[in-house]
Amino acid sequence: MSNEEKVLDVHEVPKWTKWFLLSLQHLFAMFGATILVPYLVDMPPNVALVTSGLGTLAYLIITRGKIPAYLGSSFAFITPIVAASAADGLAGAMVGAFLAGIVYGIVALMIQASGVNWLLRLLPPVVVGPVIMVIGLGLAPTAIDMAMYDEGVYNGTYVLVSISTLLITIIATMFFKGFWNVIPILLGIVGGYLTALVTGVVNTTGLVASWDNLNSSQSVAEFFDALFVTPDFIIPFVDYQPLDVLSLSIVFIMVPVALVTITEHIGDQMVLSKIANRNFIKQPGLNRSLLGDGVATMIASFLGGPPNTTYGENIGVLAITRVFSVFVIGGAALLAILFGFVDLIAVLIESIPEPVMGGVSILLFGVIASSGMRMLIDNHVDLGVRRNLIISSVILVIGAGGALIELAEGVEIPGLAIAAIAGVLLNAILPGRNEAGNSGQMFED
């Protein structure tokens, strides 16, 4: 594409009359998915909003404002956080997420010292694509459980609400135009929420109490006290007690997921580079984008929020709108931080019932899996070649099948990490790599 086709390039500043709406559009695009992760792992959603905003600002600074990417809650960490929380509590899981962020920094330093080619050869599209597919497929049972079951019991009303949510999201995606076309997830959640209200699924107790507090305010000071709230931040290195003996279960559950998310990050950078007609892997460099992602994850985990990652939803907004301005992305980050401190918004998010999120998740998790498939197609990975077929097949079955390696009692390596490691090893040892046509040379130095 030519530069003329871009509405706003990376360093262009939008007119102030449009800046807010353009930033709000990015916030809406990531909103549904970002609050879904804390919803699934029992974290405060407003903490996720604040940490995603802070993480995005840190990312923009570290990448020198050269990559228009919004960072939101990482789906790859959902299952590991649940497992780590069961073993060591949520604070313990956040310690593990912080350590995973350090892995990003180590890899970034290695790229700085020796270039990026070794990593691209280690993680070619034939490995990256199936790993991304596993992230979506591995979450599929979670989506169905939320959509159909109330505490393990089949619920017909839940099914009605989830189907309504899914249909609204699909209709918005397929038939709506302009601004409405880039917020189908938000529209699906709103439509599903209204359906849930009509069917009596929504618990409005918290909403009523928050609204009453606002209405009963006798002064401006009381109104602001009722309007704003401090999110329930968790400081892991304070709230996690056994710091003298770090639980091995945390390390082996959380840290290997960094390999998965680094793989996902590379895939996102490849897609974003194509959309913006730039090579972000070379300039500002994969080392800077990985470091930014890692620092964002450390910031999020240090405050008790889900680890961050670059977001496919926001990459989609860039592709549709042709607005690549990092100032728009920064505006969205500031809005996310502000929204995280508004009590009524936090209570509203917490009141969203499971079938609504389940209905959205059916499409959203499927889109993640399909994105991995698209990577294989876009990079012309021929599954007729036995080498490619073996690598992708092993990754898919190990990852989606729920495999694990138990190193000791309560110390396990999850299937997602095993699948990524297996893919890397098979890609390294199986013959015919150069002939397979999937090394990703177009992004090499």
List pLDDT tens digits, range 81-117.
888 888 778 888 888 899 999 999 999 999 999 988 8
pLDDT at 398 over 90: yes
Between residues 429 and 40, which one has the greater pLDDT?
A: 429
Backbone angles phi, psi at 8, to 5 degrees: -140, 130
Q: DSSP secondary-structure letter at 323?
A: B
Whether pTM exceeds 0.85: no
Give the pLDDT confidence score for residue 30 in this predicted structure: 74
Q: What is the dihedral of CA 89, 91, 97, 101, to 10 degrees?
A: -170
For the chain, state the CA radius of gyration: 21
What 3-state class would DSSP assign to 49?
helix
387 contact partners, CB below 8 Å, separation of at least 6: 430, 431, 432, 433, 436
Write down the mean pLDDT value for the chain.
Answer: 84
Give the pLDDT confidence score for residue 444 in this predicted structure: 55
Give the pLDDT confidence score for residue 429 in this predicted structure: 93
Percent of the chain past pLDDT 70, that is, above it, reads 90
Alpha helices in 115-124 (DSSP H): 117-122
- Alpha-carbon gap, residue 328 to 308, rounded angstroms: 19
Q: DSSP secondary-structure letter at 5?
A: G
Nearest to 70 by CA among 262, 257, 283, 293: 293
Q: Is 299 left (phi over 0), alpha (psi -120 to 50) or beta?
A: alpha
Lowest mean pLDDT among 38-47, 211-220, 306-315, 385-394: 306-315
| 313 — pLDDT class (breaks 50, 70, 90) | low
- DSSP string covering 368-403, please? HHHHHHHHHHHTT--TTSHHHHHHHHHHHHHHHTT-
List pLDDT tens digits, range 153-209.
999 999 999 999 999 989 988 898 876 776 777 788 889 999 999 999 998 888 888
| 1 — pLDDT class (breaks 50, 70, 90) | very low
| 244 — pLDDT class (breaks 50, 70, 90) | very low
Percent of the chain past pLDDT 90, that is, above it, reads 32
Residue 309 bridge partners (DSSP): 72
Amino acid at position 44, single letter: P
Between residues 431 and 432, which one has the greater pLDDT?
A: 431
Question: Would strands 153-154 and 411-413 be described as parallel, antiparallel, or unpaired?
Answer: unpaired
| 294 — pLDDT class (breaks 50, 70, 90) | very high
Within a 10 A sphere around the Cβ of 377, how many other Cβ atoms?
10
Between residues 160 and 29, which one has the greater pLDDT?
A: 160
pLDDT at 440 over 60: no
Give the pLDDT confidence score for residue 4 in this predicted structure: 46
The angle at the Cα of 391, spanning 367 to 361, to the nearest 5 degrees, equals 15
- DSSP string covering 226-270, please? HHB-------HHHH----SS--HHHHHHHTTHHHHHHHHHHHHHH
- Alpha-carbon gap, residue 122 to 105, rounded angstroms: 17
